[in-house]
Structure 1
Amino acid sequence: MSRPRSLSLAAYRVLSWGVSNPSSQPEIQRPEGELLWVHINAQDRQRAVVDFCHRLQQVRPTLHVLLTVPAEADLSLWEQGDYPLVNLPSEQAGAARAFLDHWHPEIGLWVGGGLMPNVITRAEERGIPLILIEARVDIKIARGARWLPDITRFTLDCFKTILTTNSETTRTIRRLGITSGKVTDSPPLYVSPNPQPWPEDELIETNHALAGRPVWLAACVRDKEFISILSAHRQALRMLPRLTLVLNVADTAEAEPLQNRLETMDLRCTNWDTSGQIEDNTQVILSAHSEDLGLWHRVSPVTFMGSSLERDAGGRDPLVAVALGSSVIHGPFVHRHQQMYDQLDRAGAARMVRSATELGDAVVELLSPDRAADMALAGWQIVSEGAPQADHLIDMVQDCLDQRSAG
């Protein structure tokens, strides 16, 4: 380390010394074996990161994963999944050292901004290879130490590789004095859905039973949305008299009352879960099991993603529908998956509707073979475009781990 860097870091650590307050969350024991530490600065990137980690573990099954989030983040709002999820300690030198002493990861992957000089520089000093993806020039410098020169450059320079999502950020980082070869543009991580296969004989039999009729699916529909879905279906039937709706309910307890309701509305209904039979005159196929969505996405060129028309719903994940070739319609309330819906909307792979009338019109329009094919292609490009980036990052992580174990 050069003398100016040593003096600056020494001063920074003195000014930021301290240990964080004891955490209310129980301490998690470090697993035996190789450990990948991934820091996620923004909650909306968690799902893509977890998907990447799953893919990485497919090629390196013995690798363990630790996920960290910002010190101030409320863990109860983050998804609890397959990997330990903990807050990174606050930007204090003693807390950073304690974190690394406990976890001593083999490699670190930082996603986004919120870079913390103490933990990053100490990790680099311990020989832990660090990779920064979706980079931003966003450093959390401890209070009282912001006047020190070059802390931003020193922090960024600790990374072995820096991947940015745009050329402007790349230029900014290079202008700070970071070696040009370290910094490259690269797309962000995307979720790559991997739908379960479906028995070919059942798929063929179901398509045969539908006898070439136009079909649309309303998936994960809540009770407050039933009237809108059924009104849209009645409207679309005027233009497509042989149209069939597959109505998948979000709450299995709603299936039987809904069947009775459909009969009073003079809509010819079959309950897939009890009979599994589709008649020539069936207008609505009622389904209450989420595991059957793999079949219905495959036979339905158009899917309305339910739990999105009511303000308190939040939407459902659209990616499996898209991966299985179905065009997506959704309501305006999809904040749980807002980034993905925005991306699908911009690409022309999905359409937002706000009312039953708009939904009925969209179903008729998107069931046009040319329109459905165009949207399905746009959707496939979205779900597949992240694969090369993920594969490249997997190779980088593998190389770092191999070099570390060989050394």
Structure 2
Amino acid sequence: MTSKARTGLALRAYLAASHLIPLLARPMLSHRRRRGKEHDTRWVEKQGRRLAPGPAGRLVWLHAVGLGEVMSLRGLIARMADQQPDVHFLVTSGTAASARVFAGQLPPRTLHQFLPLDAPLYRRRFLDHFRPDLCIWAEQDLWPGFVHDLAQRGIPQAIVAARMNDAAFARHRKARGLFRDLYARMALITAQDPETAAHLVTLGADARVTGSLKPAAPALGCDRGELHTLQMALAGRFIWAVAPSHPADEDAALAAHDALRTQDPGALLIVAPRHPDRRGIARPAPLKSQGAVPGADDPLWVCDTFGDLGLVYPLAQAVLIGGTFDATQGHNPWEAAQLDCALLHGPQVGNFRSDFAALDVAGGAVPVTTAAEIAATLRRTDLAQVAGRAAAAAKSAGIATDALAGDLCALLETQHE
């Protein structure tokens, strides 16, 4: 974790090549902005420019790659904030969607910025401006130049809730020397599951299992007035959802919904696409993005707006977790579990294998493989009990984050001894 850690050939080559990044940065970012993949005004933060004012006092910097990972940090931040009332938090990410949704769910004393590209000039601008006292890398995104520069400055670093499946391990193994040097600069490394921990150890890390951060995150919020209006309008109907969904999930859900409505003609399916700009599904339906709400005769409603899962889940009695019927390999099930939903999931859960396994064992989730199985599960009379077990499993799984927050706060204290 110090600047004396080994700097092998691979890391030296990376650091040398990173000097070339500014030559391509502006045209690349401008192109991405025109395609809607960068924030209209804040994209310059990726060059270390126009950064928000840094808070006074001690600062913990946490980085996560995208929306799901950023949202999972909220519980860890809340626990660290309770233990260190004078500390502020900076969260960085890379995607425009993560910034939009996180802005509505910010923990106390927390600021969001886009992480600059990993060029020496941009790194220096960022670190000189914010001067963090601790850096926490979440799940799977690690920027070698920043890791090197933080170590040079004597700023402690940690990797938390790392996740690495067999395919990712194979890729990392090809650059084993680089990752060995990066892991040597970490004061703490934790993994979500034993498989990841074993992969990290093989790559030269000293890792232990602390589980996922996602069950510890606060429940998603929403506009309470909007929720109440919808609940009143939809009272008496059986409501379920597929979220965050991809086409394969929607195909299975639509077929199941057809079967369900033969016995319950008033049932409503809410479709919440993972990528709202994909818009329409296989059938016409009212779209939330157009201000439409489901009428009494509408069998479907498409919630095609960012950041509204906190509205969808409280409406639904059951949720088919998206990404589990295709190569996506699943999405976070804990957000729905925390909001009293019975969970269903398809067979492809590689990204959250241990999470779904824990929920299955607890009886809070039901694995399904066909539309017929989905429909049969939705007709079960014990869905409320399944939802209760899911919520209890989420609460239990979040306890490990308390201890992790304490370990990270201890690292922060060593910075000032």
Q: Could you say whether these structures have the same fold, taking a TM-score greater than 0.5 normalized by the shorter chain as the test?
A: yes
Q: Which residue of 1 aligns with 2:395?
A: 384
Structure number with larger C-alpha Rg: 1
Would the aligned equivalents of 1:236 and 1:361 in 2 still touch at CA under 8 Å?
no
1:362 to 367, 372, 377: 377
Secondary structure, counterpart of 2:400 in structure 1? helix
Q: For the residues of structure 1 that align with 2:292 and 2:90, how far apart are their CA atoms?
A: 39
Task: Say if 1:247 and 1:399 are closer, same or farther in 2 by CA, change over 3 A.
Answer: same
State yes or no: 1:217 paired with 2:228. no
Q: Secondary structure of the equivalent of 1:115?
A: coil
Q: Deviations over 1:127-160 (max 9, x none)?
A: 211111234697999xxxx8xx955433211111
Q: Tell me, in whole angstroms, the C-alpha distance in 2 between the residues paired with 1:306 and 1:2.
A: 44
CA distance in 2, matches of 1:174, 1:16: 28
Change (3 A) 1:131 1:362: same
Match of 2:407 in 1: 396
Given the alignment, which residue of 125, 138, 145 partners 1:111? 138
Q: Offset at 1:165? A: 3.6
Matched, 1:194 2:203: no
8 Å CA contact retained: 2:66, 2:98: no
CA distance in 1, matches of 2:148, 2:186: 9
Inter-partner Cα distance in structure 1 for 2:64 and 2:161: 10
Q: Which residue of 1 aligns with 2:307?
A: none
Change (3 A) 1:338 1:54: farther
Q: Which moved more, 1:342-351 or 1:104-113?
A: 342-351
Where does residue 148 of structure 2 map in the other structure? 121
2:119 is the alignment partner of 1:99: no
- TM-score, normalised relative to structure 1: 0.59
Per-residue CA shift, 1:301-350, capped at 9, x if unaligned?
A: x4256999xx9xxx998645533544235799xx9x99569954884314
Between 1 and 2, higher relative CO (CA 8 Å, sep ≥ 6) is seen in: 2
Gaps of 5+ in 2: 30-42, 104-110, 271-285, 300-309
Identity of aligned residues (%): 16
> Counterparts of 1:59 and 1:230 in 2: how far apart (Å)?
47
Q: Structure 1 residues 325 and 153 mapped into 2: Cα distance closer, same or farther (>3 Å)?
A: closer
Q: What are the superposed Cα offsets for residues 232-263 of structure 1, whole Å, 9 maximum, x if unpaired?
A: 555335xxxxx98588787496557x23679x
Give the direction of change, closer, same or farther, for the CA distance of 1:187–1:19 in structure 2 (3 Å limit): same
Counterpart pick for 2:188 among 161, 184, 196: 161
Residue identity matched to 2:60: L
Give the conservation status (yes or no) of the 8 Å contact 1:304–1:328: yes
Correspondent of 1:32 among 48, 55, 64: 55
| Separation in 2, partners of 1:234, 1:89 | 51
Determine the C-alpha separation between the residues in 2 that align with 1:396 and 1:116: 23
Give me the whole-angstrom Cα distance separating, in 1, the residues matched to 2:191 and 2:157: 15
* 1:392 Cα deviation from its structure 2 partner: 1.8
Please state how far the C-alpha of 1:3 moved relative to its aligned partner. 8.0
State the partner residue of 2:73: 49
Displacement of 1:112:
3.4
- Counterpart code for 2:139: G
Q: Is the 8 A contact 2:287 2:293 kept in 1?
A: no
Task: Measure the CA separation in 2 of the matches of 1:103 and 1:139.
Answer: 35
Distance 2:81 2:241 in 1: 31
Structure 1: gaps of 5 or more residues: 238-242, 263-289
Q: 3-state DSSP class of the match of 1:194?
A: coil
**2:71 aligns to what SS in structure 1?**
helix
Report the counterpart of residue 303 of structure 1 in structure 2.
Answer: 318
1:108 is displaced (CA, Å) by 0.3
Count of residue pairs the alignment pairs up? 332
- C-alpha change, 1:232 and 1:172, in structure 2 (3 Å) is closer
